[in-house]
Amino acid sequence: MKKVLLSFRHGLGDAAQLTIVLKHLSKYRADWLVDVEALVGKHTIFGNLCNKAFIKGSAPRPEYEKIMEIRWMESFLYIPYTNVPPTKVTKSLRDEFRIDPDPKLFNYEIQITEESRQAARSYIEKLPKSRIAVAHFQGNTGAKAKNVEENAMQKICNFLTEHGFTIVILDWDRRKASRLANGNNIFCPSEQNPLWGGTGTGDGNILAALIEQADLFIGIDSGPLHVAAATKTPTIGLWTQHHPLHYFDLSNVKHLIPMDAAKLIQSKKKSEHEDYFHENYKYHYYADIADATIDEIISSFEMPVAKNQPEFQICKRGQWWQIGANSENIAII
């Protein structure tokens, strides 16, 4: 066996995507014994997908025959495959590992430990007894292209709490997102909360356990959304100026994308990749991201629609999309 170390210095969402690469290595590089070193809190999500996982800088480097510093580059413009998402995963497999992407392996996988489940259970038991929604709407990178406005998230939170949900806002980096927490039905476990096991930041495996035990996850294109995709919890992805085709692999996540999302696809095979997206992703277009999220929640939980709730119907491309209670608000897509 060839002992190989993958050195990975990227964020939580990227680490979740790396699980797809690790599955490929297990299948197509069976003669490799793979260890991974990653940033603290990210190193916990690799589980049985590698031999050992280390915090960045702590792996015993002299032991390895091969050390790979994973570059993890964007996949824009030219990706020769149209049967898999044109994401960093595809580019890494092709350029760094010389492996043809296997469509059957393009879902995230996180083996949640019993210790993580107990940590999440202990935290949830202290919350009000109700449905639990976990939400994340402000990220570390690309804030202008990813984040959802606070007033939109407040509207979503108001709807959820009015319908009996307790909300856990994720903000262990002390952003403004934590301002939504009220200590009554909206909570925000800081980086010092015992939930995260004293890491001083969030922990990917514990986060997966928390989402696994929740009733709903809502998130932007960031680490927690990728982690949620490795669970069976109903999940809504909120997209503003990025297209999920480039940043998200295959899952059961329902992606809410803007009406003009097609222009966000950057590829020399744009029409083919757009077709791939429509055939392989769950999605709805939106005019107002908060209203669309609420409509998705109503649909997912079979809630009765209030009499003053506007009609909201989305069909496939080339069909009519009606927003509002009358025919004045109709657009063709």
Query: How far is it, in rounded angstroms, from Cα 321 to Cα 314?
Result: 5
Output the six-digit token pair for 271.
Answer: 């029409």
pLDDT one-digit tens code per residue, 228-281: 999 999 999 999 999 999 999 999 999 999 999 999 998 888 899 999 999 999
pLDDT of residue 305: 56
Positions of E strands within 113-232: 131-136, 165-169, 186-187, 216-220
Residue 330 near residue 320 (C-beta atoms within 8 A): yes
Residue 4 near residue 68 (C-beta atoms within 8 A): yes
pLDDT tops 80 at residue 4: yes
Average pLDDT for 163-179: 84
Query: Vertex 263, ends 262 and 269: CA angle to 5°?
Result: 75
pLDDT of residue 79: 79
pLDDT tops 80 at residue 209: yes
Residue 88 buriedness (CB in 10 A; 0-12 / 13-18 / 19+):
buried
| Among candidate residues 217, 173, 216, the one with its CA nearest the CA of residue 196 | 173
**Pairing between strand 32-38 and 320-323?**
unpaired
Residue 220 near residue 148 (C-beta atoms within 8 A): yes
Residue 265 near residue 244 (C-beta atoms within 8 A): no
Query: How far is it, in rounded angstroms, from Cα 216 to Cα 213?
Result: 9
Q: Work out the percent of the chain whose per-residue pLDDT is above 70.
A: 90
pLDDT of residue 320: 28
| Among candidate residues 6, 87, 95, the one with its CA nearest the CA of residue 42 | 6
pLDDT of residue 304: 64
pLDDT one-digit tens code per residue, 298-313: 998 877 655 444 443 3
Count of beta carbons in the 10 Å neighbourhood of residue 175: 17
Q: How confident is the model at residue 176 (pLDDT cuts 50, 70, 90)?
A: low
pLDDT of residue 169: 95
pLDDT of residue 311: 42
pLDDT tops 80 at residue 170: yes
Query: How far is it, in rounded angstroms, from Cα 105 to Cα 35?
Result: 19
pLDDT tops 90 at residue 287: yes
| Among candidate residues 143, 157, 215, the one with its CA nearest the CA of residue 188 | 157
Average pLDDT for 37-59: 96
Query: How far is it, in rounded angstroms, from Cα 266 to Cα 224?
Result: 24
Q: Work out the percent of the chain whose per-residue pLDDT is above 90.
A: 76
pLDDT of residue 74: 86
pLDDT one-digit tens code per residue, 66-111: 999 999 998 877 778 889 999 999 999 999 999 999 999 999 999 9
Q: Reduced to 3 DSSP states, what percent helix, strand and coil does the chain have, rounded to the nearest 5?
A: 35, 20, 45
pLDDT of residue 308: 45
For the chain, what's the residue count? 333
Average pLDDT for 117-127: 96
pLDDT of residue 312: 39
Mean pLDDT of the chain: 88
pLDDT of residue 262: 93
pLDDT tops 50 at residue 294: yes
Which parts of 62-108 fold into alpha helices (H)? Answer: 88-95
Residue 301 near residue 164 (C-beta atoms within 8 A): no
Query: How far is it, in rounded angstroms, from Cα 206 to Cα 199?
Result: 11
